Amino acid sequence: MELRRVGHTGLRVSALGLGTLTWGRDTDREDARQLLSDFLDAGGTLIDTAAHYGDGLAEQTIGDVIDQLGVRGDVVLASKAGLVEGADGPRIDCSRTCLLDSLDASLEALHTDHLELWLLDHFDASVPIDETLSALEVALRSGRIRYVGVANYPAWALAEIACLLPGHGGHLAVIETEYSLLNRSFEGELTDASAHFGCGVFAWSPLARGVLTGKYRSHTPPDSRAATPHLRGFVEPYLDARYAGTIEAVARAGEGFGLSAGQVALSWVKDAPGVTSTLLGPRTPGQLAQLLEVVDFALPHQIRKALDDVS
C-alpha cells in the first residue's frame, strides 16, 4: 500500500487507515485481531481511534490486539480527545484538565507511552484557545504525543490553531474530516486552509456511513448500523431521498467495473485531491477484505467526472 507524507511533516501513513469506531462494542476482540492482521498484511499502518469509540472500549481493544500481535512498531496510532460521553449525551470539552486526563487514559488503554498523532475531536468554543494550546504544549514537550491534529473543525478554527500552535512547540499536522460523494463540505474553505497551512487530510466515512454501499436502497437490513439503536442516528442523515440519484450512479459505475458500490465510493475519495489517508470503518474481516481489493485501483477520469457531476 502506498505511504503518503502527512502535510509538511516527516510522518508517513498508509493511503488507507483502519477506523475503530465499532471496536469493543460491535466488533469483538477476535474480529479486531483479524482486522488488524489483515490490514497490516496489506501494507496498512494508520490506526484511527478516539477515547469515546466503542463506548470507551475501542482503545483497550486496540492495545490488547497490538500486544497479541507484537506490532506496536509497525503502526501509526492516532487517537482523539475532547468529546466526552455524559449522562445527558456527548459534550465537547477541550479544557486542559479534560484533555490531559483523557490522554493519560488513552495511553494506558493502548499500552503505549506515546501517540504518533493526537487530535482534538470537535472545536470547543467554550474554552479559551490558550488553555487548549497549553494542554497540547504539555503533551508535546513530555513526548507523549509526536504530532497534533484536529477533527471536524471549521476552516476558521483550523486557521486559528494552525497560526498559534507554533508558539506552543508544535505544528498542525492533520485535519480529519468527513468526506464522501454524499458529503463534499471539505471542498472549499477547508481544502484551501489545509493546503495553506500544510496539513495532511484524513477523510472519514468515505462510504457515507455505509449508505454508499447501496445496502439501504430498498430497506434497512437487520444487521446494519441503521438497525442498531446506538448508530441509527449516525446513519439516518444520508437516508434522505435526495441522495438516491448519487447512490444509484455509484452502483451503476460499480457494475461497469465489476466492483461493488462501496469499492467505487472508496476509490473516489482515496484519490481525491488533497486527501492523505482515507479511513475505513469495517466491522468484520470480510468487509475489510472487499475494500482492500481496490487499494491499487484508480477510477478513470471520465468516471470520476461523471460522479462529481451527479453528486
Q: What does the alpha-carbon distance between residue 72 and residue 17 come to, in Å, rounded to a whole number?
A: 15
Q: Which position among 53, 147, 153, 179 bears the catalytic label?
A: 53
> Hey, what's the cell of 98?
479534560
Residues 295, 283, 48, 24, Cα dihedral to 10°: -160
Annotation says 153 is catalytic: no
Nearest CA to 211 out of 183, 184, 176, 253 is that of 183
Q: Distance between CA atoms of 132 and 259, rounded to whole angstroms? A: 45
Identify which of 240, 241, 300 has the alpha carbon closest to the alpha carbon of residue 268. 300
Q: How far is CA 271 from CA 46, 256, 278, 286, in A?
A: 17, 19, 9, 23
Tallying the residues shown for the chain, one arrives at 311
Q: Mapping DSSP to helix (H, G, I), strand (E, B) and coil, where does residue 176 land?
A: strand
Q: Which residues are catalytic?
A: 53
